Structure 1
Amino acid sequence: MTEANSDSFEDLFKAQQTRKIRHLTPGQKIKATIVGITEETTFLDVGGKSEGVLNSSELKDGEGNISYQLGDVLDVYFLQAKASEQLFTMRIGSGSSTAHLEEAFRSSIPVEGFVKAEIKGGFEITLGGNVRSFCPYSQMGIRRVEDSGKEYLETHMQFLITRFEENGRNIVVSARALQEALREEMREKLRNTLEEGQTIDGTVSSIRDFGAFVDIGGVDGLIPISEIGWSRVQNVAEHFTVGQQVKAVIKKLDWDNNRISLSYKETQEDPWEKAAASFAEGSTHTGTVARLAQFGAFVTLAPGIDGLIHISKLGAGRRINHPREVLEEGQDIDVKIESFDLADKRIGLVPADYVSQESEQEQEQKEYRKFIAKNNGAKEKKTVGSLGALLQEKLAKKKK
């Protein structure tokens, strides 16, 4: 053995000797690092003097392959100490006895269950291969059960045992309790990483009349109906479906009240950026009446671009009390751009024939003024002519 190897071995030995035994209580959750894997057993570094042991079957995927490798860190639960080994589990699964399930109940260790059937008030869940339990509808998940919960049937899920009575003949489980604990952990991680203005990925978790909730990895954010699109949105379900993957911009973070506001429209091109070139002042367009208000009518000129016809510009010269007297929603109308304000994203409109109508009125007034002026001038000219004639006549008489 070389001197270097001897020193390395001595250092490792001393380090092993100085490690303190880590005392754990059944059900305690810790992080452990995989230091060895065999077909039957996985060895864990749990930070104590003794080694942790995990059944390798818990690391296998649906095809029976171990999907972990040396150095991976796992969340595990302490079961018991046996000789010089400490036994751990990631969950209690199929093949578990009633005694193991009772230990899982006392230590709050997750158990794997099979959703066998829907029964009155909830679902029948099979634990450990043949042990019956019950999960109420309200405890199947964080979100309410949709469509009678058919999406849960014949699936494997993780549960916490919340009631264990009559030696295992009366067992109640909850998936929600486990999910809420997991989401709280994820929430704390997100709290340190999310920022306002950040673009994030998420999954639409539910749809409401006022907007869509999006799961962004541990917490839900809300896309209000006003932030779905640049155009006015009336039906949220026309834009989103549950399970849809979306990108959104974080508008506001309120961790104290568990509220995260998101914007979907800000991930899309702002139509106003090109609007100035398309809607120059004085240009004429055909739009659709989108909404009627007491003060005027909003007209959609293009997706996301609305203009306003003030009520004073409607009625073809006559006074009206509400735009509905001359327009209705959904009606097509020809309009002229009267003003364009890109900074405030406002467009002032008038009916296409409004300018010509106003010019005609002005023309009539001008003609009337000309008529009055002409008549007054003629009378004045006639009067001046008569006085001149009279003076000339008097001068002629004096010469004679």
Structure 2
Amino acid sequence: MVGGPDGLKAGNPDLEAMCSSGPWFSHLIYFLLQIVVRIMSDERFEDLFQEKTVTKQKLFPGDKVEAVVAGTSGENVFLDVGAKSEGVISAAELRNEDGELTVKPGDTLAVFLLAVRNGEMVFTTRIGSGQASVQELEDAFHSGIPVEGRVTGEIKGGFQVTVAGQRGFCPYSQMDIRRIENPDEYVDKTFSFKIIEFGNRGRNIILSARAVMEEERARQREALEQSLEEGMQVEGTVSSIREFGAFVDIGGVDGLIPISELAWGQVERVEDILEQGQKVQVVVKKLDWERDRISLSLKETLENPWERVEEKYPVGSVHVGRVSRLANFGAFISLEPGVDGLLHISKLGAGRRINHPREVLEPGQEITVKIDGVEREKQRISLVPEDFTDSAGTEKKEKESGREPSFRPQAPGSMGTLGDLLKAQLKK
């Protein structure tokens, strides 16, 4: 193929005769032979022209696409959406408060196909809070395109909403995906809505913000199913508080932090730890997509206080604690959040036998205690009162030192222990 058309016809009488009809025929023959050679060598035909295959997409009203600004003319902005013809969008949607266009040729926009009118594709970013025709609102209703509306007040059964100069109504149940606790929080704010009813030529417009939120959460959930794993630490927002725990929105789905996973210590009220709307870091404990259950933990993002318990609470050290709860066998003393020690009932009463710790202690009471034993692995600390003395152990030490046992007064009316009675009988 080297040498061009002249090199091809040299030495070939038949080809020379065909090419004698004109130079254009010679070049055509050369070009066709190039194509044959390229095909035989498995080269792509489009590479010969250095072109890419362009797929023209067919769009339907309501479709969301990425468009490139092709140019402007008066009150129209023309868009290249990869279709056979350009689309158009009202320039009013793309102006700022000073009336200046916020886009220029080459910029990319996310737009919805609103309608096809007289063969022209009409797009919108979202019907806004400015003026719009009744026809545009009806197109948005049929196409499922979201609209922006401003909540202007609360009325019977829901909210009054202004959408592009038209008045609409959003029921309480359609204002949010969660139960509305305080309606005033929604007034004078702008939200995205779907028009779920359109009647009487625009005089009866029913809106739903919930529908938009559910669609967005469905997209977020799909992404989370692909990326979320047990053991991951994620950020979320407390969406609601219940007696048994707190629900946290982690970006499309709600997970539950049980009250037992709020802190290392015992938690009586969820409100003592979290409040609605608070940002938190949580660890994903368990995922069950089929049952829509996600278990979360807040305490696992915090340092486990038992890791340093032997260092902070060595045996024999004295600390001030608070009675956290009482049981038949003793009192649990909180030394710090997440670290409780047990003060056994046998160590209470100052030598007097008691039937229940409530006879000498009450929940919330401060008490000075001494560390009697620590088992970090089992998360157990045994305590005794600061002034507690083991009478048997003390008497033994006194005898070994050659001193007389110290006198210990008995409780009034007491006959003493069984050992005391036996000693008295032997002396007789």
Using the size of structure 1 for normalisation, the TM-score is: 0.78
Q: What amino acid is aligned across from residue 235 of structure 1 in structure 2?
A: R
Q: What amino acid is aligned across from residue 60 of structure 2 in structure 1?
A: T
Per-residue deviation, 1:196: 1.6
Q: What amino acid is aligned across from residue 164 of structure 1 in structure 2?
A: F
Per-residue deviation, 1:174: 0.8
Moved more, 260-269 or 54-63: 54-63
Per-residue deviation, 1:48: 3.3
Q: Is the 8 A contact 2:194 2:209 kept in 1?
A: yes
The one of 247, 252, 256 aligned to 1:218:
252
Query: Cα deviations across residues 308-342 of structure 1 (Å, max 9, x unaligned)?
Result: 22334434455544322221011122222222121
Q: Give the aligned partner of residue 155 of structure 2.
A: 119
The one of 138, 142, 147 aligned to 1:106:
142
Q: Is the 8 A contact 1:50 1:84 kept in 2?
A: no
Q: Give the aligned partner of residue 235 of structure 1.
A: 269
Q: How does 1:44-193 map to 2 (within 5 A)?
A: 44=79, 46-55=81-90, 57-58=92-93, 66=102, 70=106, 72=108, 74=110, 76-82=111-117, 85-93=120-128, 94-129=130-165, 131-147=166-182, 149-193=183-227
Q: Give the aligned partner of residue 415 of structure 2.
A: none
Q: What amino acid is aligned across from residue 171 of structure 2 in structure 1?
A: P
Per-residue deviation, 1:35: 5.2
Q: How does 1:32-43 map to 2 (within 5 A)?
A: 32-34=66-68, 36=70, 38=72
Q: Give the aligned partner of residue 205 of structure 1.
A: 239
The one of 43, 50, 53 aligned to 1:15:
53
- In the comparison of the two structures, how many residue pairs are matched? 359
Per-residue deviation, 1:164: 1.6
CA distance in 2 between partners of 1:9 and 1:35 (Å): 31
CA distance in 2 between partners of 1:69 and 1:335 (Å): 77
Q: Would the alpha carbon gap of residues 136 and 32 (structure 1) be closer, same or farther in structure 2, given more than 3 Å must change?
A: same
CA distance in 1 between partners of 2:327 and 2:104 (Å): 63
Q: What amino acid is aligned across from residue 329 of structure 1 in structure 2?
A: P
Query: Secondary structure of 2:53's match?
Result: helix
Q: Give the aligned partner of residue 309 of structure 1.
A: 343
Query: Secondary structure of 1:184's match?
Result: helix
The one of 220, 223, 229 aligned to 1:195:
229
Q: Give the aligned partner of residue 379 of structure 1.
A: none
Q: Is the 8 A contact 2:318 2:386 kept in 1?
A: yes
Q: Is the 8 A contact 2:69 2:103 kept in 1?
A: no
Query: Cα deviations across residues 31-83 of structure 1 (Å, max 9, x unaligned)?
Result: 32435465965555544333444445545667767389957563x33222346
Q: Give the aligned partner of residue 270 of structure 1.
A: 304
Q: What amino acid is aligned across from residue 142 of structure 2 in structure 1?
A: R
- Corresponding position: 1:26 with 2:61: yes
Q: Would the alpha carbon gap of residues 237 and 134 (structure 1) be closer, same or farther in structure 2, given more than 3 Å must change?
A: same
CA distance in 1 between partners of 2:371 and 2:349 (Å): 18
Q: Is the 8 A contact 2:91 2:101 kept in 1?
A: no
Per-residue deviation, 1:300: 0.9
Q: Would the alpha carbon gap of residues 50 and 277 (structure 1) be closer, same or farther in structure 2, given more than 3 Å must change?
A: same
The one of 363, 367, 373 aligned to 1:339:
373
CA distance in 1 between partners of 2:104 and 2:287 (Å): 36
Q: Is the 8 A contact 1:135 1:172 kept in 2?
A: yes
Per-residue deviation, 1:168: 2.0
Q: Identity of aligned pairs, percent?
A: 50
CA distance in 1 between partners of 2:71 and 2:361 (Å): 76
Q: Is the 8 A contact 1:37 1:56 kept in 2?
A: no
Q: Would the alpha carbon gap of residues 65 and 141 (structure 1) be closer, same or farther in structure 2, given more than 3 Å must change?
A: farther
Per-residue deviation, 1:282: 2.9
Q: Would the alpha carbon gap of residues 252 and 335 (structure 1) be closer, same or farther in structure 2, given more than 3 Å must change?
A: same
Q: Would the alpha carbon gap of residues 34 and 238 (structure 1) be closer, same or farther in structure 2, given more than 3 Å must change?
A: farther
Q: Would the alpha carbon gap of residues 298 and 33 (structure 1) be closer, same or farther in structure 2, given more than 3 Å must change?
A: farther
Query: Secondary structure of 2:300's match?
Result: helix
Moved more, 171-180 or 300-309: 300-309
Moved more, 217-226 or 63-72: 63-72
Using the size of structure 2 for normalisation, the TM-score is: 0.73
Q: What amino acid is aligned across from residue 322 of structure 2 in structure 1?
A: T
Give the superposed CA RMSD: 3.3
